[in-house]
Every structure is written in C-alpha cells, then in structure tokens.
Amino acid sequence: LLIGVPLLSGLVAGVTWLVTGRALRPVAGIRREMAAITASEDLTRRVPEPDTHDEIARLARTTNETLAALEAAVERQRRFVADASHELRSPIASLRTQLEVAAAHPGLLDLDGAVEDTVRLQHLAADLLLLARLDAGERPSDNRVDLAALAREEAGARTGVVVSETEPAEVAGSRG
C-alpha cells in the first residue's frame, strides 16, 4: 500500500495533466491568435475554431463574431472621418480664399459669401455630430417631420427644379 498509493496517485496526476493540456490546447491557440491580432491591429484575422461542439468552439465563434463587429465599427469610423474631411474641405477653402482676397484687397470682401460659408460650416459640423451620434447608436428625438414639405423647401432653393404639390408624408425623426 505504501508503494502502490503514491504510484497510482502519480499516474492519475500524469494522465489528468495530459488530458487537461490536450483539452485546453485550442484555448492556447485562441489566446495566441488574439495576442497576434492585438499586436498587429489586423482585424481581418480570425481565431481558429475547433471542429468540436463544446464551449471552446462556441468561445472561438463568439470571439470571431466580436472581431467582425469590431472590424465593421472601425471601417464605419474610417468612412466617417473620410466623409467629414471631404465635406469640410470645400467651405473651408472658399472661406480661406475670401479672407485672403479681403486681406489683399479690403474693398473686394464678399461679407455675405463669407457669412454664408461660415453658416454652411456650422451646418456641416452639426450634421457630422448627428451622424456620429447615430453611428454610436443614439436615437434621434421622435419629432414628426413632413418629408414632402422638406423636399419642396430644398428644391425651391435650387434653380431649374420643378416642384409639384404632393400630400404630406410625415415620419418620425429630425430634419437633420
């Protein structure tokens, strides 16, 4: 008994260690891949999914779904920044040109145009803030907006656009 019990305990411990190590090998693979993804910042990579139907396989699938959602969020943020910079370039360039002309020739200052461009910049900034909030999941207020009236209003401000009378088309949302 003095020899058999320690020998049997050692054998059970060794088998337990081997089985546990083999069972957790996929977790080590997932951890290594996540560390590599974090280091490389390459969100297109995915963790290996074992061919089993256990908790480890579900963990790998959930991790890959989280990575896909994170990749989509980063792409939306990149598009937003690109759109914002593109939309802001024109009015800023116009305003800068008007100010440079005014500095060189004070009599040629188009004050109305400068104010108009500044107001346009304010509207763009407000629209970009609204887009950022919507992208973050914030819901706009449930005001009623008549889309037909809004379309007539916008079309009336443009030359060469024919506006026909339509029935009101109200929706929940904001004018922005």
For 17-39, give the DSSP string: HHHHHHHHHHHHHHHHHHHHHHH
Q: State residue 140's pLDDT score.
A: 65
Cα(131)–Cα(91) distance, integer angstroms: 19
Find the largest Cα–Cα distance for the chain: 110
Mean pLDDT of the chain: 84
Q: How far is CA 105 from CA 20, 97, 98, 148, in A?
A: 82, 12, 10, 45
Token pair of 40 as six digits? 């490389």
Token pair of 83 as six digits? 């759109």
Task: Give mean pLDDT, residues 90-116.
Answer: 82
Instruction: Give, to the nearest 10 degrees, the angle between helix 111-135 and helix 55-104.
Output: 170
Q: State residue 176's pLDDT score.
A: 64
Q: State residue 131's pLDDT score.
A: 76
pTM score: 0.54
The segment with the largest mean pLDDT, out of 16-30, 76-90, 158-172, is 16-30
Task: Give mean pLDDT, residues 63-74.
Answer: 91
CA 53 to chain centre: 32
**Above pLDDT 70, what percent of the chain?**
98
Cα(156)–Cα(162) distance, integer angstroms: 8
Cα(40)–Cα(110) distance, integer angstroms: 51
- CA triple 69-77-41, angle to 5 deg: 60
Residue 2 has pLDDT above 70, yes or no: yes
Written as one string, the DSSP assignment of 91-122 is: HHHHHHHHHHHHHH-GGG--HHHHHHHHHHHH
